[in-house]
Structure 1
Amino acid sequence: MLYRVRVDVLRPWSELPTETLKLIVCRLCLKDNVRLSCVCKKFGKIACSLRVVNQSPWLLYPTAVGGVIKFFDPSQGKFYVDEIPELRCTKPRCTKDGWVLFTGDRHCLLNIFTMSKVNLPYYHMLSPSFAFSCAPTSPGCVVFAIETSFAGGFDSLGVSIGICHPGDAQWTTFKFQITDVGYFNWGDGPVFCNGLFYCLSESSYNLLGVFDPQKHTWSILDVPPPNMPRHLSSAKERYDEESYDEESYDEDFYDEESYDEERTQHMVEFKGEIILVSVSYPEKPIIFKLDLSKMKWVEMKSLNGVTLFVSSHSSLAVTDVPGISSNCVYFSKRCNYGKNNYLYSFDDCKYHPAKQHHEGPFFHKAFWIKPPRKSHLLFDELY
């Protein structure tokens, strides 16, 4: 049975209770927030007050001679440069919340945007991978280092781990023996998530190590390899097939370090979850999420508006960034020989060039950093 309801007065949307409106606005993406602000003055005022405009990550290059550092802003297609003499003979290792861990004769955490600095004790290892949990100005900051050890020869493989807190006089070190073969310091950089450091082995998809900095425990998660196609061809074979030119081909330039001859993996933390990005041009990147309840990698068919910035030392995930495409993966280096492909869009399933070439000497060693707003005002524009 149908009933008719008589409405004497239709109340305008502008009379929607403020608290209800705020709950709605907080759940909107940037584009919808802007659209809502055009409805009426009340909506516009609340939408603007709750609008979050994120800053695009920048690409940070290794320190050049004289302590010169260079950045690339993909949202503007511009380079910025600064000179910090105290960074001479240092190497950036990882980044978090705008802070960078530099190693060399001395180790330090430096915010290159505010120039705040926290000195760290020197860490005696050959080639460790580093990470830190949060900005050193936050309580509970932990700096983490890991390296494969061969104390007993190749038949006795293990990992050496060191941790320290800002203000510590020395590192606290641990050694753990492992039975599986995996070079944890040669893969993607460690990722901190929910109080734990996750370390991805480069030599085996099946090795995902976890270190608890509170309990000082190390374990290998029983997670099967993600389901992905086998690599079809090497990088040089793809070059030969696509655009081989005997005069222009330089075997020293197209080396293994500059270009990936096999599928590469990058781990990213986003809202308390671990995301794995597997890349092998010309195939599309494959995205997985770690499901700890089922102890498996689950393939993600969509990024749901998230943009991933991946590199071998530091990867980031962001949303609602002006000038940056959503549902995309941005890379820190070219994806194939001779072509300027720096991002992949899941909307049209294609690789695309960046607004400007952002390569240069050692560009394959650059990594992403999260700058504060209006950071371009702090540095000289290069070009």
Structure 2
Amino acid sequence: MGCSTSIHKEEKNKERCKIDNSRTWTDMPIELMQLLVPRLCLVDCVRLASLCKAWNSLSNLIQDAMVNPWLIYCENESSTWKIFDPVCGKEYSIDMKWLGFSENLTFLYSKDGWVLASKEDNSLFLINSLRRECVISLPKLNTCCRFKPLAFSSAPTSPDCVVVIAEFEGEHIAEVSTWSPGEEQWSTTSFQDEIGYNVLCNPVFTRGEFYWYSNGGELLVFNPFQKTWKVLEIETPTKMASYYRRLVMECYLVKSGADLITVFRGLKTEPMQIFKLDRLNMVWSELHDIGDVSIFLDCRATIAKSFPEKWCRNRIYLCGFSDNHIERSAFYSLETAQYHPKYPRNFKEPMVYIWIEPNLTS
């Protein structure tokens, strides 16, 4: 009797399994989906949406995904671009054959999911790698832009988008070229400076103006709509006062919320130095903590992003990564004032790379 009962139970369990296996993805409750999506990286969320047409009707499916900055890079002149998510430690591939060119491509700047890139012949393009056929060619500028401090204010689909490229000729002339989508040529304006400035990274657009950080601590400010130029005379942060120290430190400027932040990175395992602009007193104030924010560091496009999860806050992510699946990401922790791993000697940095904030809507 006992034997027949157990056989009966086993048959019932098998029947249940058959029924469960026959159910489709559409049977998953929407409430469960809404709990799952915020825990997924953007690429995984896009894949999930492709499994079921019904889920595409959820307007906030993509918006609710965990959208982390990505390191986009291409190697060996391949038409396949790689995406590395340092927070999730995952890597993906994008087929960019539709672009028609990837050889000799240089990434110059990124914002709102778009990348400003140049080819060897100095031609310029705005590319959205996540949206097929989203390429905008810019007019030719009679200069090599690969080493010029440049940026754009917003996605080129925005009506107020403007691209700026600065050139500091000699000691006393700043030349700024601007272009907006729909224009057939660049507009160039020259400004006289009493002092020569050494600009180390791309500018930041905030409050309707572009800000360049000079090696001496000053901020160079250009208003692209009024075509005005001014210099905010701010003393170099005390710890950066020595000329030699400024010479060996890499400097980065980033916008975090309404704040302007500078990050200084020294040699080897030397602690990073971070300063925030105190606009009231016009001084650089040192920060030892950036709260729920993490910074993704690069002289072309540094990104600051806040995170709800504690474990990935208060960090400065570097462009290097490894094939080790345990320690794939390299970052500096402000909490421990140390690099993790201790120093990423074996981490590789691709030749052509840039941080981007994924955007499927612009």
| TM-score normalised by L of structure 2 | 0.70
Q: Does 1:217 pair with 2:235?
A: no
Residues 340-359 of structure 1: matches in 2 within 5 Å? 342-353=330-341, 359=348
1:322 Cα deviation from its structure 2 partner: 5.9
1:277 Cα deviation from its structure 2 partner: 1.0
Contact in 2 for aligned 1:94/1:314 (Cα 8 Å): yes
Give the whole-Å Cα distance in 1 for the aligned partners of 2:117 and 2:243.
38
Amino acid paired to 1:301: H
Structure 2 spans left out of the alignment, 5+ residues: 1-37, 40-59, 322-326
Change (3 A) 1:77 1:225: same
Give the whole-Å Cα distance in 2 for the aligned partners of 1:282 and 1:55.
30
Give the whole-Å Cα distance in 2 for the aligned partners of 1:162 and 1:117.
21
Query: What is the aligned partner in structure 2 of residue 6 from structure 1?
Result: none
Query: What is the aligned partner in structure 2 of residue 366 from structure 1?
Result: 353
SS at match of 2:101: helix
From 249, 257, 272, the counterpart of 1:285 = 272
1:358 Cα deviation from its structure 2 partner: 5.5
SS at match of 1:93: strand
Q: Aligned residues: percent identity?
A: 29
SS at match of 2:330: strand
Give the whole-Å Cα distance in 1 for the aligned partners of 2:227 and 2:71.
33
Contact in 2 for aligned 1:94/1:313 (Cα 8 Å): yes
Give the whole-Å Cα distance in 2 for the aligned partners of 1:231 and 1:148.
23
Contact in 1 for aligned 2:89/2:329 (Cα 8 Å): no
Q: How big is the alpha-carbon RMSD for the aligned residues of Structure 1 and Structure 2? A: 3.2
Contact in 2 for aligned 1:67/1:89 (Cα 8 Å): no
1:129 Cα deviation from its structure 2 partner: 2.2
Change (3 A) 1:223 1:173: same
Give the whole-Å Cα distance in 2 for the aligned partners of 1:63 and 1:321.
33
Give the whole-Å Cα distance in 1 for the aligned partners of 2:74 and 2:173.
30
Give the whole-Å Cα distance in 2 for the aligned partners of 1:327 and 1:360.
22
Q: Does 1:56 pair with 2:73?
A: no
1:341 Cα deviation from its structure 2 partner: 8.2
Give the whole-Å Cα distance in 1 for the aligned partners of 2:331 and 2:227.
38
Change (3 A) 1:323 1:295: closer
Once the two structures are superposed, residues 133-154 of structure 1 have per-residue CA deviations (whole angstroms, 9 ceiling, x without a partner) of: 011111200111111213xxxx
Once the two structures are superposed, residues 256-301 of structure 1 have per-residue CA deviations (whole angstroms, 9 ceiling, x without a partner) of: xxxx981111111111221111122423222111122211111123
Query: What is the aligned partner in structure 1 of residue 43 from structure 2?
Result: none
Give the whole-Å Cα distance in 1 for the aligned partners of 2:161 and 2:259.
20
Give the whole-Å Cα distance in 2 for the aligned partners of 1:160 and 1:303.
35
Structure 1 spans left out of the alignment, 5+ residues: 1-29, 32-47, 151-155, 235-259, 374-383
Amino acid paired to 1:121: P
Change (3 A) 1:290 1:229: closer
Contact in 2 for aligned 1:198/1:209 (Cα 8 Å): yes
Contact in 1 for aligned 2:86/2:328 (Cα 8 Å): no
Contact in 2 for aligned 1:265/1:279 (Cα 8 Å): yes
Residues 178-257 of structure 1: matches in 2 within 5 Å? 178-184=193-199, 187-201=200-214, 204-228=215-239
SS at match of 2:312: coil
Q: Does 1:93 pair with 2:108?
A: yes
1:340 Cα deviation from its structure 2 partner: 9.0
SS at match of 2:239: coil
Larger helix proportion, structure 1 or 2? 2
Change (3 A) 1:213 1:229: closer
Give the whole-Å Cα distance in 1 for the aligned partners of 2:284 and 2:243.
22
Per mean C-alpha deviation after superposition, the further-off stretch among 343-352 and 314-323 is: 314-323
Q: Does 1:300 pair with 2:287?
A: yes
Contact in 2 for aligned 1:63/1:90 (Cα 8 Å): no
| TM-score normalised by L of structure 1 | 0.66
1:189 Cα deviation from its structure 2 partner: 1.1
Once the two structures are superposed, residues 21-72 of structure 1 have per-residue CA deviations (whole angstroms, 9 ceiling, x without a partner) of: xxxxxxxxx99xxxxxxxxxxxxxxxx99x9554111112256414442222
Change (3 A) 1:98 1:321: farther
Equivalenced residues, count: 286
1:327 Cα deviation from its structure 2 partner: 0.8
1:179 Cα deviation from its structure 2 partner: 2.3
Residues 85-234 of structure 1: matches in 2 within 5 Å? 85-104=100-119, 105=121, 106-115=123-132, 116-126=134-144, 127-150=147-170, 156-184=171-199, 187-201=200-214, 204-228=215-239
Amino acid paired to 1:206: G
Amino acid paired to 1:188: C
Give the whole-Å Cα distance in 1 for the aligned partners of 2:335 and 2:104.
43
1:233 Cα deviation from its structure 2 partner: 9.6
